[in-house]
Structure 1
Amino acid sequence: MKRTLVVGVDGSPESRAAADWAAREALRRDRRLRVIHAWLWQPLEVPIVHHRDSEASRAQDIVREVEAELTHRHPELALTAEVLQDAPVPALLRAAKEAEMLALGTRGHGVIAGFLLGSYGQQLIAAAECPVVSVRARDGGPVTGPDEGEVVVGQQGGVEESAEVLGFAFAAAAVRDVPLRAVRAWTLPPVYGYSPGSMWIADQLGGLEPYEKAALEQALEPWRLRYPEVEVIEQVERGSGGHVLLSAASDAQLVVVGRRVRESSVGARVGSVAHAVLHHAVCPVAVVPHP
Structure 2
Amino acid sequence: MSNAEETGRACTAADWAARDAQRRALPLHLVHAWIWQPHDVPVAQDLDTQKHWALRMLREAEEELRGRHPELTVSTERISDTAAEVLLGQAEHAQMLVLGSSGHGSIAGFLLGSLGQRVLARANSPVVMVRAKARSAAKQDGGEVVVGLDDLGDSAAPLLEFAFDAAATRRTVLRAVHAPSLPPLYGYGLVVGQLASNTGQAEKALSEALKPWREKYPQVPVAHTVGLARPSGVVLRAAAQAGLVVVGRRVHRPALGMRIGPVAHAVLHHAAAPVAVVPHD
Q: TM-score, normalised by structure 1?
A: 0.86
**Match of residue 22 from structure 1:** 17
Spell out, residue by residue over 1:233-277, the C-alpha distance to the aligned partner (whole angstroms, 9 max, x if none): 011111111111111011110000011111264414111000011
Report if aligned partners of 1:11, 1:62 keep a CA contact under 8 Å in 2. no
Secondary structure of the 2:142 match is coil
What is the distance in 1 between the residues matched to 2:272 and 2:132? 9
Equivalent residue for 1:258, pick from 248, 254, 257: 248
**Match of residue 130 from structure 1:** 125
Report if aligned partners of 1:135, 1:144 keep a CA contact under 8 Å in 2. no
| Greater alpha carbon shift after TM alignment, 262-271 vs 220-229 | 262-271
Cα distance, 1:155 vs structure 2: 1.3
**Number of aligned positions between the proteins:** 271
Q: How does 1:241-280 map to 2 (within 5 A)?
A: 241-263=231-253, 265-280=255-270
1:231 aligns with 2:208: no
Q: Structure 2 unaligned segments of length 5 or more: list them.
A: 104-108
What is the distance in 1 between the residues matched to 2:197 and 2:143? 33
1:103 aligns with 2:98: yes
Q: How does 1:83-102 map to 2 (within 5 A)?
A: 83-102=78-97
User: Cα–Cα, structure 1 residues 11 and 63, in superposed 2: closer, same or farther, change >3 Å?
Assistant: farther
Equivalent residue for 1:288, pick from 246, 260, 278: 278
RMSD value, Cα? 2.5
Equivalent residue for 1:158, pick from 148, 152, 157: 152
**Match of residue 199 from structure 1:** 190
Q: How does 1:69-88 map to 2 (within 5 A)?
A: 69-88=64-83
Large movers: runs of 4+ above 4 Å: 44-50, 142-145
**Match of residue 177 from structure 2:** 183
1:218 aligns with 2:208: yes
Cα distance, 1:229 vs structure 2: 0.7
Cα distance, 1:73 vs structure 2: 1.2
| Greater alpha carbon shift after TM alignment, 49-58 vs 22-31 | 49-58
**Match of residue 5 from structure 1:** none
Cα distance, 1:82 vs structure 2: 1.3
User: Cα–Cα, structure 1 residues 57 and 148, in superposed 2: closer, same or farther, change >3 Å?
Assistant: same
Percent identity, aligned pairs only, is 47
Report if aligned partners of 2:128, 2:276 keep a CA contact under 8 Å in 1. yes
**Match of residue 106 from structure 2:** none
| Greater alpha carbon shift after TM alignment, 152-161 vs 96-105 | 152-161
Secondary structure of the 2:240 match is coil
1:209 aligns with 2:199: yes
Letter in 2 for 1:77: L
User: Cα–Cα, structure 1 residues 43 and 115, in superposed 2: closer, same or farther, change >3 Å?
Assistant: farther
Letter in 2 for 1:127: R
What is the distance in 1 between the residues matched to 2:265 and 2:275? 10
What is the distance in 2 between the residues matched to 1:152 and 1:277? 11
Report if aligned partners of 1:125, 1:287 keep a CA contact under 8 Å in 2. yes
**Match of residue 61 from structure 2:** 66
Cα distance, 1:134 vs structure 2: 0.2
Cα distance, 1:143 vs structure 2: 5.0
What is the distance in 2 between the residues matched to 1:169 and 1:46? 46
